Amino acid sequence: MQGVTLALPTRDLVLFPGVLRTVTVGRPASTAAIERHATSGAALVLVPQRDPEEEDVERAALSKVGVLAQVLRAARMPDGTMRVLVEGLERAKVTGSISVDHGAYVVNIEPMPSPKEDPAKVGALSRHLQELFKDWMVGHNFTGTEADLLASEDDDPDRVGDQIASELSLDLADKIELLEEPLVRRRLEILVGHLAREIAGQRVASDVNAKVQAAMDQSQREYHLKEQLKAIRAELGEATGGDAEADTFETRVKACGMPEEAEKEALREVDRLRRIHPDTAEYTIARTWLETVCDIPWSKGTTDATDLALAQKVLDEDHHGLDKVKERLIEYLAVRQLKPDHNGAILCFVGPPGVGKTSLGRSIARALGRSFGRIALGGIKDETEIRGHRRTYVGALPGRIIRALVRAGSKNPVLVLDEIDKLGNDFRGDPASAMLEVLDPEQNNAFADHYVDLSVDLSQVLFICTANVLDTIPHALFDRLEIIEIPGYTEEDKLEISKQFLLPRLAEKHGLTQKQLIIEDDALQHVVRDYTREAGVRDFERQLAALHRKVARQLVEKSARKVKITANALGRYLGPVKYHPELAELVDMPGVVIGLAWTASGGDILFVEAIKMPGKSGLKLTGSLGAVMKESVEAALSWLRSHAADFGIAPEAFEAEIHLHVPAGAIPKDGPSAGVTMVTALASLMTGRPVKPMMAMTGEITLRGKVLPVGGVKEKVLAARRAGVKTVILPRHNGADLEDVPEVLRRDVKFVLVDTIAEVLAEALAPK
């Protein structure tokens, strides 16, 4: 047949002569060609496209050879497409491109020449091909009747080749090559090559399967599949792990600058990663470990600032006062300049809340030019939070120290260990003990995290701990710390801090300018005295923030340009006064004394009240007093009874029931520093002589009448001055502690240093 013929271009389908195939037709022009062929009986040729993705048939690259076919059955589907059963008849040469004629595809064709070939050679090839095809069918469990008949036919080599080509899973390009090949012998040779490769692959797979089957346990199907895959890849000479990822990790490990021993261990893990299949859990564990190890800044670091004046300027910009702390840090910088490998001590800032311990660590990092990290230790009870989990556990992670080091991205950051005094312990271990190695300059150059399981050098990290109290820090851990006490702020300090730091920051935060909101100094002072009661400035900042919020609302609602807040106007913004002067409630009567106490929130004053009642001789104590404070009362009473004659107290005065009470009974109180207060209250009660006004005292007593030194002097003095006390009695040995008291306090408060209880009573009791 020659001339213009109806055409059906096919995608992903090559029809061979003598083969039946079902074709789905969706293009309108293809559907029209099928209908014209069915109605008119015109010839139809199936021409495969070389690129199945090409939609435009007129531009598509087509095979040079098509197959004349007849439609045996056609059915139109609900979606508008047609399903057509076609039978290939013979090859035809395509001489032009496909075009559209009256809505149907047409193409020019001419007969395909059949060169003469040696029948003996072609027949031998055909028989060999059929034998190979039988083996191929056995490997694929092929039991179809037509295939069995096909494999037994040997009279028509051309038909045998086309039938076998249609059964094999060949690529589109390979099938088109077979269709276009005019020589039967060449087509049979190509098919023999394909079948030989297929059968060889089947035999390798069979051998691999036999080996795996012999080694596997019947009950472990999943393990069998993984081992089978490994054996297949081993036979093919392919790697079994994520080679590209392993190569990436190997490059990263070598570039990290690890110690030699750590690098060897990491490279061993990389080699192990190559041998693990990516779909297994072991692969994920190894990969996560390598990521963590490579993220550790083994050799990345920053250079410390060398300009001491610039460091001092940075510290002064961020914090007011704190001269001792700043001096210690400048000393640290100076030593680092002279000896760069100096490890230094572990600093521990101790002070009440809100005095800037944590923010001071950030300022230190800025002054040094180092990266900064913070680790919150409050409430941690599990040792693994510090040292990490073993890799064998599900969801294992490195400890907080290593994670903070990774986040900082530097081997020498400033790490603040916040609230180290609040570490706990339970059945999961003692995290405070785990911190011993971290905070020991002699040991932390080889810190061992359970997850990483490699020695990590922490000696260049500047650790700064913060704490409110020292009593709860274990002794072994306390011994490794250099304690720097940060006492509470004076009123003058708070006013200066508010002007330099708090007000500018709050104004920016609330969208105000300092011209829109003016707070007079007297108003700030009243906020400190009447609305806050703290050693730091945290609550003070909250009250100032409340002022800014109310002023912002006032500016928006009333369209005011600026607001000026005076001391008299504070009540309209902050409400009634929250705290009243304690001394205003003090009644000038015998048996009432002001004592000084230290708390985790700073210093405070406490009243001690004593009365006596007729009845059986005895001592009654109330006010949530601890065991040590109760013993101080008993010691005070014993000393006073033994020296009653010296103060003109009759012996029968003690034959009454004495009741001593410390107000704020809901708050537990303990410690020996109230000894002088207790003995003064009892002496005042027994002698009827009240204590001099505006006087407070602190100190421990002995039965010999000695007054022993106490701690927290600066905090107690700050509390006394805040309460309006004018005279403070202190043990003589605490005189050196007054150097830490600001000069403004020493000017406002008179200090009386004493050695004995007799000196205390002589100074404290008013004349009869």
Q: Are residues 628 and 754 in the same domain?
A: yes
* 127-159 b/e (C-beta count within 10 Å ≥ 16 → b): eebbebbebbbeeeeeeeeebeebbeeeeebbb
CA-closest candidate to residue 518, choices 485, 559, 564, 550: 564
- 180 found inside a domain: yes
Q: Is residue 620 part of a domain?
A: yes
Are residues 496 and 481 part of one domain? no
621 and 687, same structural domain?
A: yes
* Contact criterion met (CB below 8 Å) for 77 and 55: no
Those residues whose C-beta lies under 8 Å from the C-beta of residue 474, and which sit 6 or more positions away, are 432, 433
Measure Cα distances from 345 to 223, 372, 463 in Å. Answer: 54, 18, 8
In terms of domains, do 503 and 436 share one? Answer: no
For residues 128 and 201, state if they share a domain.
yes
Q: How far apart are CA 614 and CA 616, in angstroms?
A: 7
- End of a domain among 94, 111, 128? 111
Residues 661 and 526 in one domain: no
DSSP-assigned states of every residue in 529-541:
HHS---SSSHHHH
Final residue belonging to a domain, choices 160, 186, 207: 207
Task: Kindly state the DSSP code that residue 206 receives in the 8-state scheme.
Answer: H
| Segment holding 466, helix H or strand E | strand 462-467
- The CA distance from 715 to 728, in Å, is 13
Q: What is the dihedral of CA 525, 529, 532, 533, to 10 degrees?
A: 140
The answer to whether position 267 is within a domain reads yes
pTM: 0.59
DSSP 8-state assignment for residue 456:
E
Domain membership flag for residue 249: yes
Collapsed DSSP state (helix, strand, coil) of residue 687: helix
Nearest to 386 by CA among 445, 435, 451: 435
Q: Domain total for the chain?
A: 6
Same domain flag for 650 and 542: no
Please report whether residue 340 resides in a domain: yes
Taking a C-beta distance cutoff of 8 angstroms, is the pair 727, 696 a contact?
A: yes
Two structure tokens written together for 700: 């421990």
Q: What distance in Å separates the CA atoms of residue 265 and residue 242, rounded to the nearest whole number?
A: 19
Helices 675-687 & 627-642 angle (0-180, nearest 10): 40
Tokens 């829109």, located at residue: 516
**pLDDT tens-digit readout, 647-703:** 888 888 888 889 999 987 777 888 888 899 999 999 998 888 899 888 999 999 999
284 lies in a domain? yes
The one-letter amino acid at 212: V
Tokens for 50?
Answer: 């070389």
CA distance 656 to 636: 16
Distance CA 534, CA 540 (A): 8
The answer as to whether 302 is a domain residue is no
Question: d(Cα 47, Cα 30) in Å, to the nearest integer?
Answer: 11
Return the active site residues.
673, 716
Give the CATH number, domain containing residue 683: 3.30.230.10
Q: Which CATH number does the domain housing residue 558 bear?
A: 1.10.8.60
Tell me if 19 sits within 8 A of 87, measured CB to CB.
yes
Q: Is residue 214 part of a domain?
A: no
Q: How far is CA 629 from CA 112, 640, 657, 678, 695, in A?
A: 118, 17, 19, 9, 21
Q: In CATH, what number is assigned to the domain containing residue 467?
A: 3.40.50.300
Residue 44 vs residues 4, 48, 158, 179: alpha-carbon distances, Å: 10, 13, 22, 17
Token pair listed for 164: 């076998």
| Residue 753 CA: distances (Å) to CA of 361, 444, 731, 750 | 37, 45, 5, 10
**Dist. CA 682–CA 679, nearest whole Å:** 5
Find out whether 356 and 401 touch, Cβ atoms under 8 Å: no
In CATH, what number is assigned to the domain containing residue 128?
1.20.58.1480
pLDDT of residue 257: 84
Q: CA end-to-end span of the chain, whole Å?
A: 145
Q: Give the pair of three-digit tokens for residue 147.
A: 């295939």
Q: Which of 95, 111, 127 is the last residue of a domain?
A: 111
| Chain CA centroid to CA 20, Å | 64
- Which residues in the chain come in under a pLDDT of 50? 149, 240-241, 584
Q: Are residues 659 and 677 in the same domain?
A: yes
Residues 20 and 91 both lie in one domain: yes
On whether both 152 and 189 belong to a single domain, the answer is yes
d(CA 656, CA 682): 13
User: Does residue 372 sit in helix, strand or coil?
Assistant: strand
| Domain region containing 200 | 119-207
State the DSSP code for 171: -
> Is the separation of the CB atoms in 83 and 24 below 8 Å?
yes
Looking at the fold, whether 666 and 681 belong to one and the same domain comes out as yes
Q: Are residues 477 and 506 in the same domain?
A: no
CATH of the domain at 39: 2.30.130.40
Going by C-alpha positions, the residue among 460, 432, 464, 467 that lies closest to residue 446 is 460
Q: What is the separation of C-alpha 700 from the centre of its chain, rounded to a whole number of angstroms? A: 48
Cα–Cα separations (whole angstroms), residue 488 to 141, 163, 468, 630? 88, 97, 11, 28
